[in-house]
Copies of this chain bind each other. A is one copy, B any other.
Amino acid sequence: MKDNAILLISCPDQRGIVAAVTAFIREHSGNIEDLEQHVDAEAGAFFMRLEWSMEGFRIPREEIGSRFEPVARSFQMKWDLHFSSRQQRVAIFVTREPHCLFDLLARAESGEWNGQIPLIISNRTDLQSAAERFGIPFYVFPITTENKQEQERAELALLEEFRIDLVVLARYMQIVTSRLIEPYRNRIINIHHSFLPAFAGARPYHAAYERGVKIIGATSHYVTETLDEGPIIEQDVVRVSHRESAEKLIRHGKDVEKIVLARAVAAHLEHRILVYGHRTVVFR
Protein backbone atom coordinates (compact mmCIF):
# COMPACT_ATOMS: atom_id res chain seq x y z
CA MET A 1 0.00 0.00 0.00
CA LYS A 2 1.47 3.30 -1.09
CA ASP A 3 1.32 6.29 1.18
CA ASN A 4 0.19 8.93 -1.29
CA ALA A 5 -1.78 12.14 -1.05
CA ILE A 6 -4.43 12.80 -3.67
CA LEU A 7 -5.75 16.27 -4.39
CA LEU A 8 -8.87 16.77 -6.49
CA ILE A 9 -9.37 20.32 -7.70
CA SER A 10 -11.99 22.15 -9.72
CA CYS A 11 -12.07 25.87 -10.41
CA PRO A 12 -12.67 28.42 -13.14
CA ASP A 13 -10.09 27.99 -15.90
CA GLN A 14 -7.36 30.61 -15.72
CA ARG A 15 -3.66 31.02 -16.34
CA GLY A 16 -1.14 29.57 -13.95
CA ILE A 17 -3.14 26.99 -12.03
CA VAL A 18 -0.92 24.01 -12.80
CA ALA A 19 2.22 26.05 -12.21
CA ALA A 20 0.96 27.25 -8.82
CA VAL A 21 -0.18 23.86 -7.59
CA THR A 22 2.87 21.95 -8.75
CA ALA A 23 5.11 24.67 -7.30
CA PHE A 24 3.37 24.16 -3.94
CA ILE A 25 4.08 20.43 -4.02
CA ARG A 26 7.62 20.97 -5.16
CA GLU A 27 8.47 23.56 -2.52
CA HIS A 28 7.71 21.03 0.14
CA SER A 29 9.64 18.24 -1.54
CA GLY A 30 6.68 16.25 -2.80
CA ASN A 31 7.31 13.90 -5.72
CA ILE A 32 4.36 13.98 -8.11
CA GLU A 33 3.45 10.45 -9.18
CA ASP A 34 0.43 11.28 -11.25
CA LEU A 35 -1.04 14.49 -12.59
CA GLU A 36 -4.06 14.70 -14.79
CA GLN A 37 -5.88 17.84 -15.71
CA HIS A 38 -8.85 18.59 -17.87
CA VAL A 39 -10.20 21.84 -19.20
CA ASP A 40 -13.80 22.12 -20.29
CA ALA A 41 -13.27 25.01 -22.66
CA GLU A 42 -16.97 25.61 -23.24
CA ALA A 43 -17.79 25.78 -19.53
CA GLY A 44 -14.53 27.58 -18.72
CA ALA A 45 -13.85 25.02 -16.03
CA PHE A 46 -10.59 23.46 -14.90
CA PHE A 47 -10.18 20.07 -13.20
CA MET A 48 -7.11 18.37 -11.81
CA ARG A 49 -6.12 15.24 -9.96
CA LEU A 50 -2.69 15.28 -8.41
CA GLU A 51 -1.16 12.34 -6.62
CA TRP A 52 2.14 12.63 -4.83
CA SER A 53 4.19 10.56 -2.43
CA MET A 54 4.00 11.47 1.25
CA GLU A 55 7.48 10.04 1.64
CA GLY A 56 9.75 12.98 2.24
CA PHE A 57 6.90 15.47 1.93
CA ARG A 58 7.65 18.19 4.46
CA ILE A 59 4.12 19.07 5.55
CA PRO A 60 2.39 16.71 7.99
CA ARG A 61 -0.85 15.42 6.59
CA GLU A 62 -3.14 17.24 9.01
CA GLU A 63 -1.62 20.59 8.00
CA ILE A 64 -1.65 20.17 4.22
CA GLY A 65 -5.13 21.62 3.94
CA SER A 66 -4.44 24.83 5.80
CA ARG A 67 -1.11 25.33 4.06
CA PHE A 68 -2.72 24.77 0.64
CA GLU A 69 -5.66 27.06 1.38
CA PRO A 70 -4.03 30.31 0.16
CA VAL A 71 -3.24 28.73 -3.23
CA ALA A 72 -6.77 27.37 -3.42
CA ARG A 73 -8.31 30.72 -2.54
CA SER A 74 -6.36 32.64 -5.15
CA PHE A 75 -7.88 30.44 -7.87
CA GLN A 76 -11.34 30.02 -6.27
CA MET A 77 -10.77 26.29 -6.06
CA LYS A 78 -13.05 23.62 -4.71
CA TRP A 79 -10.78 20.88 -3.55
CA ASP A 80 -10.66 17.57 -1.71
CA LEU A 81 -7.68 15.93 -0.16
CA HIS A 82 -7.44 12.16 0.31
CA PHE A 83 -4.79 9.74 1.49
CA SER A 84 -4.34 6.37 -0.14
CA SER A 85 -3.43 4.87 3.22
CA ARG A 86 -6.97 5.34 4.49
CA GLN A 87 -9.21 2.40 3.68
CA GLN A 88 -12.74 3.39 2.73
CA ARG A 89 -15.85 1.75 4.10
CA VAL A 90 -18.48 0.63 1.61
CA ALA A 91 -22.09 -0.37 2.26
CA ILE A 92 -23.83 -2.44 -0.39
CA PHE A 93 -27.59 -2.30 -0.94
CA VAL A 94 -29.21 -5.25 -2.71
CA THR A 95 -32.58 -6.80 -3.40
CA ARG A 96 -32.72 -10.11 -5.23
CA GLU A 97 -30.09 -10.27 -7.97
CA PRO A 98 -26.85 -11.77 -6.66
CA HIS A 99 -24.41 -11.23 -9.54
CA CYS A 100 -23.22 -7.71 -8.64
CA LEU A 101 -23.11 -8.50 -4.95
CA PHE A 102 -21.00 -11.63 -5.39
CA ASP A 103 -18.67 -9.74 -7.70
CA LEU A 104 -18.17 -6.89 -5.24
CA LEU A 105 -17.65 -9.27 -2.32
CA ALA A 106 -15.12 -11.33 -4.24
CA ARG A 107 -13.16 -8.22 -5.20
CA ALA A 108 -13.09 -6.95 -1.64
CA GLU A 109 -12.03 -10.34 -0.37
CA SER A 110 -9.32 -10.68 -3.01
CA GLY A 111 -7.82 -7.37 -2.03
CA GLU A 112 -8.46 -5.84 -5.46
CA TRP A 113 -9.65 -2.68 -3.72
CA ASN A 114 -8.57 -0.32 -1.06
CA GLY A 115 -11.98 -0.71 0.58
CA GLN A 116 -13.82 -2.87 3.02
CA ILE A 117 -17.48 -3.86 3.21
CA PRO A 118 -18.69 -3.74 6.84
CA LEU A 119 -22.37 -4.28 6.03
CA ILE A 120 -24.97 -5.18 3.44
CA ILE A 121 -28.47 -3.71 3.49
CA SER A 122 -31.48 -5.17 1.71
CA ASN A 123 -35.23 -4.73 1.50
CA ARG A 124 -35.56 -8.51 1.25
CA THR A 125 -33.93 -11.59 2.69
CA ASP A 126 -33.09 -13.35 -0.59
CA LEU A 127 -29.39 -12.60 -0.53
CA GLN A 128 -28.79 -13.21 3.16
CA SER A 129 -27.00 -16.48 2.50
CA ALA A 130 -24.66 -14.81 0.00
CA ALA A 131 -23.72 -12.25 2.66
CA GLU A 132 -23.19 -15.02 5.17
CA ARG A 133 -20.85 -16.87 2.84
CA PHE A 134 -18.56 -13.87 3.12
CA GLY A 135 -19.24 -13.30 6.81
CA ILE A 136 -20.69 -9.82 6.37
CA PRO A 137 -23.54 -8.47 8.52
CA PHE A 138 -26.79 -8.35 6.55
CA TYR A 139 -29.54 -5.93 7.59
CA VAL A 140 -33.06 -6.23 6.25
CA PHE A 141 -35.31 -3.19 5.93
CA PRO A 142 -38.50 -4.18 4.15
CA ILE A 143 -39.94 -1.10 2.45
CA THR A 144 -43.60 -0.22 2.07
CA THR A 145 -45.17 3.07 1.10
CA GLU A 146 -46.03 3.61 4.73
CA ASN A 147 -42.71 2.81 6.35
CA LYS A 148 -40.31 4.12 3.71
CA GLN A 149 -39.48 7.35 5.52
CA GLU A 150 -38.86 5.56 8.81
CA GLN A 151 -36.83 2.77 7.21
CA GLU A 152 -34.59 5.19 5.34
CA ARG A 153 -33.93 7.00 8.61
CA ALA A 154 -32.95 3.71 10.21
CA GLU A 155 -30.71 2.89 7.25
CA LEU A 156 -29.07 6.30 7.47
CA ALA A 157 -28.44 5.80 11.19
CA LEU A 158 -26.80 2.50 10.40
CA LEU A 159 -24.62 4.03 7.69
CA GLU A 160 -23.49 6.66 10.16
CA GLU A 161 -22.92 4.16 12.92
CA PHE A 162 -20.72 2.13 10.58
CA ARG A 163 -18.98 5.33 9.35
CA ILE A 164 -19.76 4.44 5.76
CA ASP A 165 -17.96 6.43 3.06
CA LEU A 166 -19.64 5.03 -0.04
CA VAL A 167 -22.98 3.39 -0.72
CA VAL A 168 -23.26 1.00 -3.67
CA LEU A 169 -26.70 0.09 -5.00
CA ALA A 170 -25.98 -3.33 -6.47
CA ARG A 171 -29.32 -3.90 -8.22
CA TYR A 172 -31.25 -2.45 -5.28
CA MET A 173 -34.82 -2.27 -6.53
CA GLN A 174 -36.05 0.61 -4.39
CA ILE A 175 -35.99 4.29 -5.18
CA VAL A 176 -33.69 6.08 -2.78
CA THR A 177 -34.92 9.49 -1.62
CA SER A 178 -33.13 12.70 -0.72
CA ARG A 179 -33.05 11.62 2.93
CA LEU A 180 -30.21 9.30 1.93
CA ILE A 181 -28.98 11.18 -1.13
CA GLU A 182 -28.45 14.50 0.61
CA PRO A 183 -25.95 13.30 3.24
CA TYR A 184 -24.31 11.00 0.67
CA ARG A 185 -24.23 13.42 -2.26
CA ASN A 186 -21.92 11.97 -4.96
CA ARG A 187 -21.26 9.04 -2.69
CA ILE A 188 -24.07 6.70 -3.78
CA ILE A 189 -23.30 4.68 -6.93
CA ASN A 190 -26.07 2.84 -8.76
CA ILE A 191 -25.93 0.33 -11.60
CA HIS A 192 -28.70 0.68 -14.16
CA HIS A 193 -29.18 -2.27 -16.45
CA SER A 194 -29.31 -0.35 -19.71
CA PHE A 195 -27.22 1.97 -21.78
CA LEU A 196 -28.64 5.22 -20.41
CA PRO A 197 -30.35 7.39 -21.47
CA ALA A 198 -31.88 4.56 -23.50
CA PHE A 199 -34.33 2.43 -21.54
CA ALA A 200 -34.44 4.32 -18.27
CA GLY A 201 -36.96 2.97 -15.79
CA ALA A 202 -38.20 -0.54 -15.20
CA ARG A 203 -37.58 -3.68 -17.28
CA PRO A 204 -34.94 -2.23 -19.61
CA TYR A 205 -33.98 -5.56 -21.14
CA HIS A 206 -37.54 -6.25 -22.16
CA ALA A 207 -37.75 -2.77 -23.64
CA ALA A 208 -34.44 -3.35 -25.48
CA TYR A 209 -35.75 -6.64 -26.81
CA GLU A 210 -38.97 -5.01 -27.97
CA ARG A 211 -37.08 -2.24 -29.75
CA GLY A 212 -34.84 -4.79 -31.45
CA VAL A 213 -31.52 -3.16 -30.56
CA LYS A 214 -28.31 -4.89 -31.64
CA ILE A 215 -26.29 -3.83 -28.61
CA ILE A 216 -27.23 -3.72 -24.93
CA GLY A 217 -25.41 -2.03 -22.10
CA ALA A 218 -25.18 -0.99 -18.49
CA THR A 219 -24.57 2.33 -16.79
CA SER A 220 -23.15 3.18 -13.40
CA HIS A 221 -23.93 6.64 -12.08
CA TYR A 222 -24.15 8.70 -8.95
CA VAL A 223 -27.64 8.76 -7.57
CA THR A 224 -29.53 12.04 -7.66
CA GLU A 225 -33.10 12.94 -6.86
CA THR A 226 -34.08 12.37 -10.50
CA LEU A 227 -34.27 8.66 -11.28
CA ASP A 228 -31.64 7.32 -13.72
CA GLU A 229 -30.39 10.82 -14.48
CA GLY A 230 -27.42 11.16 -12.16
CA PRO A 231 -23.89 11.83 -13.46
CA ILE A 232 -22.67 8.83 -15.45
CA ILE A 233 -19.43 7.27 -14.24
CA GLU A 234 -19.00 4.29 -16.54
CA GLN A 235 -20.83 2.45 -19.31
CA ASP A 236 -20.18 -0.62 -21.35
CA VAL A 237 -22.03 -2.69 -23.90
CA VAL A 238 -22.27 -6.12 -25.42
CA ARG A 239 -23.37 -7.06 -28.92
CA VAL A 240 -26.58 -9.09 -29.27
CA SER A 241 -28.63 -10.30 -32.18
CA HIS A 242 -32.12 -11.40 -33.10
CA ARG A 243 -31.23 -14.80 -31.62
CA GLU A 244 -31.30 -13.50 -28.07
CA SER A 245 -34.62 -13.60 -26.26
CA ALA A 246 -35.31 -11.06 -23.53
CA GLU A 247 -34.17 -13.70 -21.04
CA LYS A 248 -30.85 -14.11 -22.80
CA LEU A 249 -30.40 -10.34 -22.91
CA ILE A 250 -30.81 -10.38 -19.14
CA ARG A 251 -28.18 -13.07 -18.84
CA HIS A 252 -25.63 -11.39 -21.10
CA GLY A 253 -26.40 -8.06 -19.49
CA LYS A 254 -25.52 -9.31 -16.02
CA ASP A 255 -21.88 -9.67 -16.99
CA VAL A 256 -21.78 -6.12 -18.28
CA GLU A 257 -23.55 -4.81 -15.19
CA LYS A 258 -21.12 -6.27 -12.73
CA ILE A 259 -18.03 -5.14 -14.62
CA VAL A 260 -19.37 -1.61 -15.14
CA LEU A 261 -20.35 -1.29 -11.49
CA ALA A 262 -16.99 -2.60 -10.28
CA ARG A 263 -15.11 -0.13 -12.49
CA ALA A 264 -17.14 2.76 -11.13
CA VAL A 265 -16.58 1.69 -7.53
CA ALA A 266 -12.83 1.29 -8.14
CA ALA A 267 -12.62 4.77 -9.71
CA HIS A 268 -14.45 6.25 -6.73
CA LEU A 269 -12.29 4.45 -4.18
CA GLU A 270 -9.17 5.70 -5.95
CA HIS A 271 -10.49 9.27 -5.94
CA ARG A 272 -10.49 9.52 -9.71
CA ILE A 273 -13.92 11.09 -10.15
CA LEU A 274 -14.91 14.76 -10.18
CA VAL A 275 -18.57 15.66 -10.60
CA TYR A 276 -19.69 18.88 -12.19
CA GLY A 277 -23.21 19.62 -13.24
CA HIS A 278 -24.58 16.26 -14.26
CA ARG A 279 -21.33 15.15 -15.84
CA THR A 280 -18.23 13.46 -14.48
CA VAL A 281 -14.54 13.74 -15.10
CA VAL A 282 -13.09 10.27 -14.57
CA PHE A 283 -9.31 10.32 -14.58
CA ARG A 284 -7.83 6.94 -15.51
Contacts and interface: CB of A to CB of B under 8 A. Distances in A.
A239 B280 CA distance: 15
A215 interface: yes
A251 B267 CA distance: 13
Interface residues of A, number: 69
A209 B282 CA distance: 14
B15 A35 contact: no
Contact of A255 (B19, B32, B109, B262): B262
A58 to B, nearest CB: 12
B217 A215 contact: yes
Please report whether the interface of chain A is mostly helix, strand, loop or mixed according to DSSP: mixed
A232 B214 contact: yes
Contacts of A251: 112
A135 to B, nearest CB: 8
A88 to B, nearest CB: 18
Given A133-B133, A213-B232, A217-B215, A38 B102 contact: no
Interface in A23-65: 23, 25-26, 29-42
Contacts of A31: 15
Contacts of A110: 98-99, 102
A203 interface: no
Contacts of A33: 39, 41
Contacts of A42: 245-246
Interface in A146-197: 195-197
Contacts of A281: 242
A212 to B, nearest CB: 3
B213 A235 contact: yes
Contacts of A107: 99
Contacts of A217: 215
A243 B236 CA distance: 17
A112 to B, nearest CB: 7
Interface string A212-242: 1111010000000000000111111101011
Contacts of A98: 106, 109-110
Most buried by B among A29, A32, A112: A32
A55 B211 CA distance: 32
Nearest to A50: B18
12 contacts: A18-B32, A34-B39, A41-B245, A99-B107, A102-B110, A106-B106, A211-B232, A215-B235, A239-B239, A242-B279, A242-B281, A255-B259
Interface of A: 15-16, 18-19, 22-23, 25-26, 29-42, 98-99, 102-103, 106-107, 109-110, 112, 130, 133-134, 195-199, 211-215, 217, 231-237, 239, 241-243, 245-246, 251, 254-255, 259, 262, 278-282, 284
